[in-house]
Amino acid sequence: MMMEQCLQLMESTHSRLFSFMIEGLAPKDAMQYLDLMIRYGDGARVSLLLQSLLAIKNKSSAIF
């Protein structure tokens, strides 16, 4: 319940900065953060956030 509330707050306040935050973490920390989201978050919400990460990754890969 608490994790879900944290995810809701993060999404409502700064979801557009999610990829920036994840990219700024060490790889191990980013994976731990994503693991917590997947375990305790709402499946639909987590899916949207992960899709946004993939879209940004694919967009940046196309540039190079």
Q: In the chain, what are the domain boundaries?
A: 2-8+16-63
Query: Per residue in 5-58, pLDDT tens?
Result: 887 787 777 777 888 888 899 999 999 988 988 888 888 888 888 888 888 778
Q: Cα angle vertex 34, ends 28, 35, to 5°?
A: 85
Q: What is the pLDDT of residue 15?
A: 72
pLDDT of residue 19: 83
Q: Is the pLDDT of residue 4 over 90?
A: no
Q: What is the DSSP letter of 54?
A: H
